[in-house]
A = this chain, B = another copy of it.
């Protein structure tokens, strides 16, 4: 167990933005909520996965909705409390700790804000090791943890307890409810015992986010190349460097879908990179070749600072370096690729690991 204070939050927010692979909602919102909650209630206890008991009730929490809406419509904080209280009533058991469902964007920080407010500890883990757009795209689901009972609560005081036959139905129904609730809602989901967490989670996600943030910060202070430092930390690949010349984006069915067109600079001069996203970056390609696909992580970083761009943050003229990072091994199994691989999202291509696609480009 260690304490997370304001300084750690700053680094975590940067790491969350990077692992968010363009989606997950701008972590700035979550950061502000976490900082304010820590200011009021003191630092948050971060638990190592091995510190939780096998029969402890652990409940991840997250905001659901299009990132473009999340950043406009701030959670009040009460909806998370309401979601937790409702779920405790349904399960007739006290929640011992919370954790992020995804390592990326606003949803990495929200559990910290909730934890500071309630005094609950946060487990240093998540269910994606990145951000993904749908509720069933978590390692808990890959390991047959039930998505429901889940609670969805909005800032107005409406809430629902959902019980579904599988995670995809939870996604469909909760998504529809979220849309009429105003485009975003808080959920408490995948209630698990400690043993299930240990078997299915991705370990040390918050610590990794903190390390990413620290690496970028220290590289800047030491005038080292921050992108190289990040690639070293994450075992990633530099896919493309260029300048955004076109960006299409629309909020549709609770998702932000679109594409950024990047004209190459330096060694990529003359080439064009197309970055397609559905909340998160899902595929990066040039006219001739695929550079990286989901479930591997595709991140567009500021070429100068290595700070990550969200898909909402990409602008005409942004100078960006696109990097690819191998996903957790759980995502590279047959089941993982079925759930979150390129074909699930409608791309007519098989998943090929980023290290195979980019071996020749080098780290």
Contacts and interface: CB of A to CB of B under 8 A. Distances in A.
Contact of A173 (B157, B169, B172, B181): B181
Nearest to A158: B164
A159 B162 CA distance: 6
How many residues of A sit at the interface, in one of the four size bands? 20 to 34
Contacts of A177: 160, 173, 176-177
Interface string A160-204: 111111000100110111011100000000000000000000000
Contacts of A86: 163
Contact of A158 (B159, B169, B181): B169
The count of identical subunits is: 2
A343 interface: no
Given A176-B176, A177-B173, A165 B158 contact: yes
Contacts of A94: none
Contact of A156 (B156, B160, B169): B169
A161 B161 contact: yes
A160 B162 contact: yes
Contacts of A164: 157-159
B157 A165 contact: yes
Nearest to A181: B173
Contacts of A165: 156-158
A265 to B, nearest CB: 45
B173 A163 contact: no
A86 B90 CA distance: 10
A172 to B, nearest CB: 5
Nearest to A179: B176
14 contacts: A86-B163, A157-B164, A157-B165, A158-B162, A158-B163, A159-B162, A159-B163, A160-B177, A161-B161, A173-B177, A173-B181, A176-B177, A176-B179, A177-B177
